Amino acid sequence: MPALIETPLTAVVNFPLPRSKLVDPDQYLVFDISNLIPCEAETIPLNDLRPDLEAGTLGSAKEQLDMRGFAAVKAESTLATEENLGSVEGTDKYLEETCECVAFLAFPLPSFPSDAC
């Protein structure tokens, strides 16, 4: 079991400035590695949902989606083995399984080809 972390964890995410904040937005219309769109950093908190997930206090995936826009659920795959993920075919099967799981949990989606994930 991992050690308990007492200090709140945070992450820094860099977002490109919106056009309204750029002095001359047209200069960024053509990609140039030496002239990237300036970014602003946002510090966001990271929450460990494992204790709630293990205690079963999070509610159903639908309830979580309705409440906060994302869901934490337990899932186990028989396909996530070193032997399966070591091949293109095994990885494709695992990705297909994951796409089906996410589509099932999130919203009723129209059918789509398995390579769309």
CA distance 49 to 112: 31
- 68-111 pLDDT per residue, tens: 877 787 778 888 888 888 899 999 999 888 888 776 655 554 44
pTM, full prediction? 0.42
- 58-75 pLDDT per residue, tens: 888 788 888 887 778 777
Nearest to 61 by CA among 106, 92, 29: 106
The torsion angles phi and psi of 27, rounded to 5 degrees, stand at -65, -15
79 and 45 in contact (C-beta within 8 Å)? no
CA distance 61 to 39: 34
Tokens standing for residue 83: 């032997």
